[in-house]
Amino acid sequence: MLRNITQDYLAEKCNVTPKHISAIERGTSPGSVILLLNICNVLDITPNSLFVDSFSEDNKEAKDSIIPIEKHDILVKYIKLSNSNQEFIDTAINHSYDEQTRR
């Protein structure tokens, strides 16, 4: 019971049944993205908080691939760019990263 919130309370706030919340906790139901975001709002956590324990310390690469929620808008804009503009951004990022890691 995280933050003293029961499955019943969480289910009520998310407009689902306690049985559905239990199934998500047990991993027998994935839940929808909207439901997971609602759960995060009720618990006052980020979506990353739900999944960070899924990665072991041995799998640093997987942990590094989790994108912070505050970067979501930038990624949406990037996806909407033309291929040539995406290539330009990719080149700029790679160049900046190479320069940073040389120091």
Q: pLDDT digits over 20-45, tens only?
A: 999 988 889 888 889 988 998 888 88
End-to-end, the C-alpha distance of the chain in Å comes to 47
pLDDT at site 8 = 95
Are 52 and 80 contacting, i.e. CB atoms less than 8 angstroms apart? no
Does 63 or 12 have the greater pLDDT score?
A: 12
What percentage of the chain reaches a pLDDT higher than 70? 78
Classify the C-alpha dihedral 102-72-38-36 as positive or negative: negative
CA distance 36 to 7: 14
Mean pLDDT of 61-77: 68
Give the Cβ contact number of residue 39 at 10 Å: 21
pLDDT at site 69 = 63
- Structural domains in the chain, CATH included, are 1-56 (1.10.260.40), 67-103 (no CATH)
Q: Where are the alpha helices (DSSP H) in 45-82?
A: 47-51, 60-64, 72-80
